[in-house]
Amino acid sequence: MTFANMGTWMERAACRDADPELFFPIGATPAPGPLRAAQRICGRCAVRLECLNYALETGQSAGVWGGTTEEERRAMRVEALHAARA
């Protein structure tokens, strides 16, 4: 995914008009309610995989991307590193 392609999928994202605080909460631990609300929006998004791939490829460590939390993406990156070494 390149930055040139980023605008295309972002324009189609279900979250484009949502409150950014749902996806980038203030504080160390997101509250369960807003986190679930963000993940519900992601769950109906046509570009969820593009969003997740962008987050993984660019190392996005904050917020909800493609329906995943920071911890979930961190685990995905660790798993990918282990698979690459095998």
Residue ranges of the binding site for [4Fe-4S] cluster: 15, 42, 45, 51
- Do residues 24 and 34 make contact, with C-beta atoms less than 8 angstroms apart? no
Residues annotated in a binding site:
15, 42, 45, 51
**Distance between CA atoms of 70 and 63, rounded to whole angstroms?**
6
Residue 83 CA neighbour count, 13 Å, CB half: 6
**Distance between CA atoms of 5 and 8, rounded to whole angstroms?**
5
